[in-house]
Amino acid sequence: MNKSSRRLSLTAALATALLYGCTEQTDNNTDDNSGPVQSKSPTVSSPSNLPTASPAGAEEESSTEKTFPYQITTLAEGLSLPWEIAFAPAPDSRIFFTERPGNLRVIVGGKLQPQPLLEVPAPSYGEGGLLGLTLDPDFANNGYAYVYHSYPDGEEISNRILRLKIGEQSAEIDMVLLDDIPGSVNHNGGRIKFGPDGMLYVTTGDRSETKLPQDITSLAGKILRLAPDGSVPKNNPFEGSLVYSYGHRNPQGLAWQPETSLLYSSEHGSSAHDEINLIEASGNYGWPLIQGDESGSGQQGESLQTPLVHSGSNETWAPSGMTFITQGPWSGELLVAALAGQRLLHITLDKEGQAASLETLFEQDWGRLRNVAEGPDGTLYVLTSNLDRGTPSEGDDRILALTPTWK
């Protein structure tokens, strides 16, 4: 089935939504929270042209509280733009996270350690810095972690992929897997994840140069696929190339559906039209040739892939980190953190992996949300990103823990 026939266009505005600026770097949203959230039920809204999923549609707050299967507390606060979070396997139980100004930090036994494990130089302005983080599948034995790092490169900004060696009290750079990824003040991408196939997948931005996403020889505006040692996998779609998919503007989220291993990505649009995409090897996702419901062909005559879900022409999400829930009553659901949209997107998929419904959770409750991730025990972690834009609340930035109530 062609994606154009199965996409869902979210052109109807959310009932309680505000209209935001067109891109992450231009939005001026503010956070009106009065302080850290210890416990609350979600505020919920849903597009009028889509079916809703629980807990949307609850008539009373008490009903919503009963259907929302998590209790919310603040795990860490006073942070500096946390970007990614990763969980050491049991019995280690450490929680690692990056801060965009260049810090790798750790939470041990539920307590934030005061000193970073590692500090790396980062640009003093813009969206770059220490961004994505993922642990090696064999982390318990080798201590390897992988990060995506924007760094000053003369008068320019570039991005690179580093392998780290993490010890008990500190971490060090073990090797540079890939450098000279095009970077800029904005649009650096930055997510890095291991796929079910054991390969590293990496999102890169277009550097605000619209010609680069359609250029297969450039690493900008792509999803890359590389082996853990940095080499090109032999079964990559383009021979000798790390490029897995192209035609991306600024993708910042990666998640695999557990049952099918289908890969999904989130992407910032240029003027609204933010996207959730179902990623296929060698797929051309259209930027800058098409957006939203538009269709067309690429330079080689290939069909351009249209988004699974997009925000329409009047609303901006600026979607970033995303995760599939694998445990509890919401198992199989997809959550996406939104920056300009200041919300969690809660997406229900059908048996074919297509979007069946979408609802909004916690709209404007915590300000800009950079990431959402599921821990090994089913706890969800939400990272805020309010210090660089808008008006931060007391305690920002924070990591919020949504602890299961169904256990």
Contact 402, 328 (CB under 8 A): no
- Whether the bond into 213 is cis, omega within 30 of 0: no
Q: How many Cβ atoms sit within 10 Å of the Cβ of residue 302? A: 12
Q: DSSP states of 201-221 as a string?
A: EEE---TT-TTSTT-TTS-TT
Determine the pLDDT at residue 10.
38
Q: Is 386 exposed, middle or buried (0-12, 13-18, 19+ CB in 10 A)?
A: buried
Map tokens 């060698």 to a residue: 282
Contact 274, 254 (CB under 8 A): no
Q: Residue 371: beta bridge partners?
A: 383
Determine the pLDDT at residue 271.
83
Determine the pLDDT at residue 77.
97
Sign of the Cα torsion 117, 132, 74, 375 reads negative
Alpha carbon 404 to its chain centroid, in Å, reads: 22
| Distant-in-sequence, close-in-space partners of 308: CB < 8 Å, separation ≥ 6 | 3, 6, 7, 8, 264, 275, 276, 277, 278, 354, 355
Mean pLDDT by 10 residues, the chain (407 residues): 40 30 35 35 43 34 58 97 97 97 97 98 93 98 98 93 97 98 96 98 97 98 98 98 98 96 97 95 98 94 95 95 97 97 96 91 96 98 92 92 94
Q: For residue 74, what are the CA distances in angstroms to 122, 266, 374, 404?
A: 27, 26, 15, 14
Determine the pLDDT at residue 288.
97
Contact 209, 157 (CB under 8 A): no
| Distant-in-sequence, close-in-space partners of 184: CB < 8 Å, separation ≥ 6 | 126, 128, 156, 157, 205, 207, 208, 209
Map tokens 């192209």 to a residue: 246
Tokens of 187: 């649009």
Determine the pLDDT at residue 32.
30
d(CA 356, CA 8): 8
pTM, entire model: 0.87
The strand ranges marked E within 114-189 are 118-119, 130-135, 144-153, 156-166, 171-182
Determine the pLDDT at residue 378.
97
Q: For the chain, how far is it from start to end, CA to CA, in angstroms? A: 39
Cα radius of gyration rounded to whole Å, the chain: 20
d(CA 349, CA 334): 8
Nearest to 28 by CA among 20, 36, 17, 39: 20
Q: How many Cβ atoms sit within 10 Å of the Cβ of residue 318? A: 30
Contact 181, 187 (CB under 8 A): no
Q: For residue 340, what are the CA distances in angstroms to 27, 75, 121, 307?
A: 6, 23, 27, 19
Determine the pLDDT at residue 53.
36
* Helix residue spans in 295-404 (DSSP H): none
d(CA 160, CA 173): 12
